[in-house]
Structure 1
Amino acid sequence: MERPPRRPSAARPRPRSLQRAAAALFLAIFVALPFAVLYRGPVSRSLHDSWEWDPLPSLDASEEDGAARDDDLDSQDLKLEQVLQKASMGDNTVILTTLNSAWASPGSVIDLFIDSFRSGVRTSSLINHLVIIAFDWNAYKQCLKIHPYCFALGTDGVDFSEEKRFLTSGYLEMMWKRIDFLRLVLESGFSFIFSDADIMWFRSPFPYFYPDGDFQIACDHYFGNATDLRNIANGGFNYVKSNERSIEFYSFWYSSRLRYPGLHDQDVFNVIKHDPYVSDIGLKIKFLSTSYFGGFCEPSRDLNKVCTMHANCCIGLQSKVHDLRVMMEDWRSYLSLPPSLKRLSALAWRVPQNCSLSWSHQ
């Protein structure tokens, strides 16, 4: 590039030493600037990758770079709303489950969970409304391989990737993280069905929900009445409508962890359901019958009615996986029968086997 012609000046000419210094400074800036730009790029990207994973797997590489550059503008709340919107039904309802590395390996719990949707009665289309919430990076990567709607929920300084044994500190922290996240979903205007991944879906549950319930929850033990507070709830499956009452309840539920240290969300719910404050906010609680929403604690006996079956009352990942596979075999055997034999009441599950019923909760 040619220099512009110098204009005549009456000023005294600059000493040669100053000219050389200025030229050296210009050259240094010219050489260093590209390296500064290159250096900044990887640093920004590594910070983005630490927890700010983009939950939209459809983004290509160039779009991901753009997302990293705009990370300060594109908050996690906005990303969550985007993925929920993509998966939602017409009434802003989504199906949610959570996943960590221990349950994400091929052939493990998450594969059985998704397989149950594909094998169920009127459930295959519901998988289009499922969002998988990953607690760690490996679970998120595995989710992207098997499902279009994934969201990475990270927590600084907490590793949720390993199997969390029942009532350990890691288990409790993960369960309470889930409650706080579900509150955020409700505040975003989305109703949801939350389902643990160790629940097999055999029929669409929507015909069996109560139209007037704000908060509907499955049970370890059901006493025959949907409004009986003596029912022993299981937090692994619930249907919650987004409204002021449900949002306030989830805030109350989450804050109650401080009043009952050492208890997980399910046990705390079974305490606070009696609290007068729940009545004061007007929350309508309905308990779901184990005839339709069963589990190892109290199985759904009639395969002609069952909607979901939960590997509750079961400790240990390997035991769960074994019995879930047996359950899926039982279901496929049922589906292969002619209609006349399906109506026989003699049909029964072969589970639990490796799972122990000595536990009253999952």
Structure 2
Amino acid sequence: MQHTVMQHTVQQPPVTFSIAGSDPSGGAGTQADLKTFSALGVYGAAALAGLTVQNTQGVRQAIAVNPQLVRDQIDAVLDDLPIAATKLGMLSNAAVANAVADVIEERREEFGLVVLDPVMVATSGDRLLEEDAVAVIRTRLMRLADIVTPNLPETAVLLGDDVPTAHNADDLEQQARALVSAGARSALVKGGHLNDDVLTDVLASAEGVARFASPRIRTRNTHGTGCTLSSAIAASAALHGDTRATGVSPAAVANARDYLHRAIEAGADWRLSRHPETGHGPVDHLFDLHSVNLHGANQQQRAFNAKMRQQSSASSAESASYRYW
């Protein structure tokens, strides 16, 4: 009697990599990156380049991680995991930024697409990047990345203080094109600081220009939006099948912006802080999951959670441990 062996193909998510600083309050930095990766369905890895002491009210302290330790973390990830896309965030100082640039130059193909978010100042206005790192970002990392995603103040620093102040979408396009001329493969200049009712971002590359517009959501809960968008671009590019050969597609940017818009919308009325009338609260990175848990939209998921809780109680004598969020 013959038996047929059924082969089961396991579908695996793309792997994305964050090299950034931590935010213990969970709204920005590495914590926001990993939430975003999970929400969009990719597997997230992370190396810490900086540590902060911050919350929704502001940054109390920022400390750089030893450059060699940053390098060792990156090597450990690259030696093990096939990376589809990498997001670079807060890099603390010139020593750390140079260490990251060195390893990217040495192992460029292993990083996949590189999204550079030139984090300089937190939403609260507190500085996160030492002055000596700006030149490294401008002269090395911007040229190694596939896309750079600055806001208007960051764009002014990258282009020099003589850059004209942006007032509209045409000015955003001019600055995005200027970044490409300065060495960026592509540049997404974000127009959030224009404070218009319509939020406009402009993507420029050698292939052309794309403009993106969405209604502005008036809320104080915008902590970590830059981190979230850049990590969403990395995840979306990986899912979209973008490669170093193709670069980051406008479709990936559009998908990332849509995710951020929905995350801001879902958390717009949150009052998580003890002092919600000041500071800047986080967005709801996991809005789909929270919708299920809070509104009972998925009965199967709730039944599964109940079953797992029963199994956890039954197996407690065997020291089995389960945690539920």
Does the alignment reach a TM-score above 0.5? Answer: no
- Return the TM-score normalized by structure 1: 0.29
Q: Which has the higher strand share?
A: 2
Q: Of the two, which has the highest radius of gyration?
A: 1
Q: Answer 1 or 2: higher relative contact order, Cα 8 Å, separation at least 6.
A: 2
